[in-house]
Structure 1
């Protein structure tokens, strides 16, 4: 398997570089999750990093390489963007209700 030194930006891994295994297309995974064990023996904290282009070529605008940026707020699995396949016939994700209880407000008729 081929790997590539990929830099990390933001979060606890800022400034570090790790060898990341490349997929069949020669690119690293879209998200990289790093479990960090809890000192008190609780569930581990998961650091989530998202793949972004390092730069673009002048002529064609192709990515020159990849890096990972820290994605704050996704530690507990909230907002799992980019997970799973999206088929054209798949139903869209349900939008959250704007009302606090999730029920329609029928008080002002």
Structure 2
């Protein structure tokens, strides 16, 4: 771990996607762990909105005796969605994408709670 004046970072490898094989210093939080998701904005060559690459934190390995994680690495998430909000019981579910209209749910009665 590199110590840079009170802010700690950890050299973390990246697997898959455009960052495959690279090792970057990632800031760690108060628990000593890097963030669960790492987003990398890549500017568009035509001047449009940037493309965001999303990587998910996974354990690099586990200890033999207790099965605790031995460091972390990031793997590429090609879908790059979710993971940005806490999942509370009262939170609304995320809208489903890719559903075609006319899937047969129109005109069906809903549960009235009787």
RMSD: 2.5
Contact 1:37 1:45 in 2 (8 A): yes
TM-score, normalised relative to structure 2: 0.77
Cα distance per residue 1:55-96 (max 9 Å; x no partner) = 00001000000000000022xxxx31x222233x42451564
Tell me: CA distance 1:35–1:105, structure 2 relative to 1, closer, same or farther (3 Å). same
Which of 53, 57, 62 matches 2:63?
57
Kindly tell me the number of residue pairs found equivalent between the two proteins: 101
Q: Does 1:16 align with 2:17?
A: no
TM-score, normalised relative to structure 1: 0.80
Q: What are structure 2's unaligned runs of at least 5 residues?
A: 1-6, 108-114
Cα distance per residue 1:35-70 (max 9 Å; x no partner) = 011111111111000000000000100000000000
2:100 aligns with 100
